[in-house]
Amino acid sequence: MNKEIEKLIKIATKAIFEELIDIIKNKEKREKLLELLKPLKVNAESFIKSKVGKINKESLDEAIEIALEKCTKKDNENQIRITAFLTSLYKLHKIERGAQVGGSLLKRFGESWFPAIKKRELSYSFDVDRDIENLFYEKLKEDFYK
């Protein structure tokens, strides 16, 4: 490596360490950095778990079956609503782990509907467009009552 590149690397490394020391000493900067890193932590954990096969991943049919069994609302209208939500979720997002499904159900319907889902799964949740969910709901309801 030539001397100019080596010198630039040393200068850059020194600047990075000085900035890190400043962040460590400054509580406000430290908290801001930790807040910015939260999504990376979730994504990194998810990536690692998916690569080593340590996750539950259900098909849409399996997710619907599990959700309908676990849900406290057993009437037809609410069961159709859950099915429409999950269908929308799977169509709009790439589902890579069960926690994405559980967190999304908990976020959308709440703990009273899904008391068995752990709150920590909320960090994996996705939003579903209500208009798309309603389209699936109307179609499923129509087919159900035929």
State pLDDT tens for residues 31-53.
Answer: 777 677 666 655 555 555 555 55
Query: Rounded to two decimals, what is the model's pTM?
Result: 0.64
Gap between the Cα atoms of 96 and 78, Å rounded: 25
Outline where the chain has alpha helix (H). 3-25, 27-51, 60-70, 76-92, 98-109, 130-144
- Which pLDDT score is estimated for 2? 79
Given a cut of 80, is residue 81 above it in pLDDT? yes
Give the distance from CA 32 to its chain's centroid: 22
